Chain A
Amino acid sequence: MASAAATVVASEEAGAIVLAAAGEWLVGAAGELDRRLRGFSLPSRRQVTLDLAGIDRLDTTGAWLLLRTEHDLIERGNAVELRNLREDFVPLLDQVRAGGRLAPTIHQRPAHHTLAGFIARIGRFTIGMFTRTYSVLGFFGLVCATAAELVTHPRRIRTVATISQIEQTGVNALGIVGLLSFLIGVVIAYQGADQLRRFGAEIYTVDLLGVSILRELGVLMTAIIIAGRSGSAFTAELGTMRVNEEIDAMRTIGLDPVEVLVMPRLSGLLVTLPLLTLYANLMALLGGCLMCQAVLGITIPQFIRELQYALYPRTFWIGVIKAPFFAAIIALIGCYEGFQVSRSAQSVGQMTTLSVVESIFLVIVTDAVFSVLFSILGI
């Protein structure tokens, strides 16, 4: 279709200029026609005839090019006549003319690509951070108030929903948490053995493994995996409910979304994250143990005996005590961002990303705070 020739030829004829258009003036030929039309040096104050006899087919783009040429010629003070316009093209030309001669849209450079825009963005971001912190604290207060109310009215606790959350965030996460923890154990044992062997202190690989896993890595890894897996799910679930107006519907029925949606997720995660941490610790130690045997020839009984020397009960508790805090952060941020979704599908994705980034960030910050606290307390 684009191949059929569309032409425009200029000639002089009895004192008038004739532009003869011919062929298929369709969108496919528009680029070429546009080049040729712009190539003409347009006359001024002359009699110009647009001869359209040769046009076989015309579409809106072709019509636009004709009208544009006519307009440009009139602008230059020419007297323009359209000649031999086929009857059946008239409605099309009228329609395009009726659409009006709108100025083409100029695509401005987005404001954030300029320096002023960059500075403005920093300012907006900073203010946004403060308002969001304020709003998250407000949400935290609301959740606490709801929790207090549930303690006094325990019949309103949603047991089934909570158990379902425990299954989704805990039981269903066993595979991924177990596998990753096992691999972390393998990596730490291997790296530790590699370094400590130079001092002939291979046996301390067990101490390194035990202390680092139990105090820090077990709980931290679990929290990060759960933030990515369940925190994002919370945001996406609640966000989708907001897009569908389900949360508004809930309110009109007289259900409290915080009580119905947030509390089961929060309490479910408060149960599962410590349990998952315990499980992750065991899997990581198992991985480390097998690696020690493979690389260093430390047998399993030897490994267990060394572990008993290295660890105290508090080593374990220092790790696990952090789990409920991390759980609360993940659940609160996940649900909060879910409620922030506006009524577009796009914002579900944005908020989910934000929720994961924020909760991982806060988990690591909290972990650092705990480390400082423990070192001050001398634990």
Chain B
Amino acid sequence: MARREPLRALVLAGRFFRIGALNELQYRANFAMQLFQSAIALGTGLAVLALVFGQTTELNGWSQPELLIVMGVHILMGGVIATLIQPNMVRLMEDIRLGTLDFVLTKPDDAQVLVSVREIRIWQAVDWLVGAVVILFGVTQLPVSIGPGQAFAFGLAFVLGGLTIYCFWLILTVGAFWVVRMDQIVELFDGVYQSGRWPVTIYPGWLRVSLTFLVPIAFAVTVPAQALTGRLTPDTLALAAGFAVALLAFTRWWWRFGLRRYAGASA
């Protein structure tokens, strides 16, 4: 059972994706709005970069194209979070609050997988496109072109980063539910996530550590960006992998723990 789960998760995810996409595609107005919003956010981000590079040629060792790549990864990962992760977490929060989580628990599939893949906000995927374009543009401006090894490392780092953020979100949703309301967590996260716009290395020590292990922005954005800019060391990649695996295991345990508490509470 334990070995088949990842595969099953993908199958389920695929099914929910189709349904979610069909649903959302009805609302064409959302597409235009999302496009506009992303355009404005991109414009603002570029304006900031322009301002910074009006005053200096490099930030903490990162050149202009390299910072562009960081921004691109930030947008891309942000799109992934907004499309795949946040909607599920928000729904999970609602289910816990209203007690409707039971419907999920009675299904034959693994509950954690179900609550993690059933929701999708397809229009946020505009950011995937925008982020990818920015990354590509940044990459073309690099003095040294990247090889397949780097590209692969980037892909791996990105996936690991995504999984790490997913774990963070699930831990927060299950744990913080009893303390505070969800919309505040979303706002709080969005605020902290903005720190990923810049390489985490610029932040003072204590902040850098927090943004790596407390709120894993570093693994989500900086590390994949490092892969594309030739900064990624095998040590860092191994750390990212190790951290992701450990976090997944902890999340699994935490989920089970929270579920027992929930079942106890609603009985």
Is A bound to B? Answer: no
